[in-house]
Each structure stands twice: as structure tokens, then as C-alpha cells.
Amino acid sequence: MPTPLLRPWRADDAAALRSAVATTPDLMTQLPVAALATEVACAAFIAEHLAPSDDGGRNLAIVLDGIAVGNVGLSAVDRRHGTAWAFYWVGTSVRGRGLAARALVALSARALDPDGEDLFRLELGHRVNNPASCAVATRAGFVAEGVERAKLAYGGERFDVETHARLRTDPAPSTPPLEVAPGTW
């Protein structure tokens, strides 16, 4: 069986992205799900929003058996302070296998590497009613730092958000990283 890996999103991942959106009911916090109703729309989204950005922001496909089944990424890259925001999702059909945590470990290793993206502090936040995301963050070595009250609004409801961060100087987590395809970074 092929090893799961991270690689850049490609135009031919459109069908896989469409399938993930169609079969995963809780992606609205990560993706504009209503706008991703067709493969054509998914292809356009991949080209416009999942390609690397000039400031170092990036999205990497989590690929299992050759199919893109999730995403891990960095945004809000701040070179002055050496910080960025991390995020992730995986489709319902592949949850519970540790893919998100392993993907976050792999992404973080490169983001914090002085010979890579050379950042110092990676941050992320999850709604306090999202224990799976909290477990992913913790397994990937992101330490909980506190709760921001009513930070995010979804569906007319506001949610408290727990923030986690991982510093370059923090101990490496025991969670093994996903393989990263050559040329990805």
C-alpha cells in the first residue's frame, strides 16, 4: 500500500476535493463549501487559493493511496516576528488514522527549520467544542495557551477558541511526520 504523503495541490485533485466536500459535513470552517459544488469550481479554487502565496503561505494536500483526502497549511506568515497560522482538515472517510496530526508535524518541521521557512512560532486555534482538533494540535506538539472568548462566528453562533502554539525550541513530538514528496517545499 502506498505511504501517505504531503504534496502541493494539483489541478487534477479537483474530483477528490469535490468528493471530500460532498461527503464531509463539517468543512465549512475551512472551506467555502457552497462554492465548491462542481469539479470545475474545485479546480478553480485549487488554482486560486491552494497554490503557494508570495508571503510563504501554503496549502499541502494530504494524499492517501494517491488521492487528496485532506489539507494542512500555513497562512498569515509574519517574517518580522517569525510567526504563522496553521490549519488542517481531513475528509470523513479517512478520519481516526492520525493523518492530520502527522501532516501537521511534517509541515511544522519545515516551517520551523532555520534552513527551511525559518519561522519561530506557529499558532493555531480550535473551537472549544472541537476536541478532535485539540487532540491533533496536542499530538503535533502545539501547547495550549488559553481561550479567546467568542472569537469565531459560524451559522449565527459565536464560539470560544482555544489557541495553541509550537515554538522552534519546544521538544519535538513523538508523533511521526508524514512523508513529504520531493520538491514540495
Ligand X SMILES: CC(C)(COP(=O)(O)OP(=O)(O)OC[C@H]1O[C@@H](n2cnc3c(N)ncnc32)[C@H](O)[C@@H]1OP(=O)(O)O)[C@@H](O)C(=O)NCCC(=O)NCCS
Interface with ligand X, residue 145, by CB under 6 A: no
CA angle 40, 26, 75 (to 5 degrees): 70
Interface with ligand X, residue 136, by CB under 6 A: yes
Nearer to ligand X, 46 or 72 (CB): 72
Which amino acid appears at position 141 of this protein? G
Considering only residues 28 through 57, tell me which ones interact with ligand X, judged by CB under 6 A.
29-30
Pick from 14, 17, 62, 99: which binds ligand X (CB under 6 A)?
99
In whole angstroms, how close is the CB of 167 to ligand X at the nearest point? 19
Pick from 76, 132, 150, 172: which binds ligand X (CB under 6 A)?
132
In whole angstroms, how close is the CB of 55 to ligand X at the nearest point? 21
Residues 162 and 132 sit within 8 Å (Cβ to Cβ)? no
Residues 26 and 70 sit within 8 Å (Cβ to Cβ)? no
Euclidean distance between CA atoms 47 and 73, whole angstroms: 15
Considering only residues 60 through 89, tell me which ones interact with ligand X, judged by CB under 6 A.
87-89
Cell of 169: 525550541
Which three-class secondary structure state does DSSP give residue 40?
A: helix
Nearer to ligand X, 6 or 100 (CB): 100
CA distances from 74 to 87, 93, 123 (A): 7, 24, 9
Nearer to ligand X, 7 or 139 (CB): 139
Residues that bind ligand X (CB under 6 A): 26-27, 29-30, 87-90, 95-101, 124, 126, 130-133, 135-136, 139
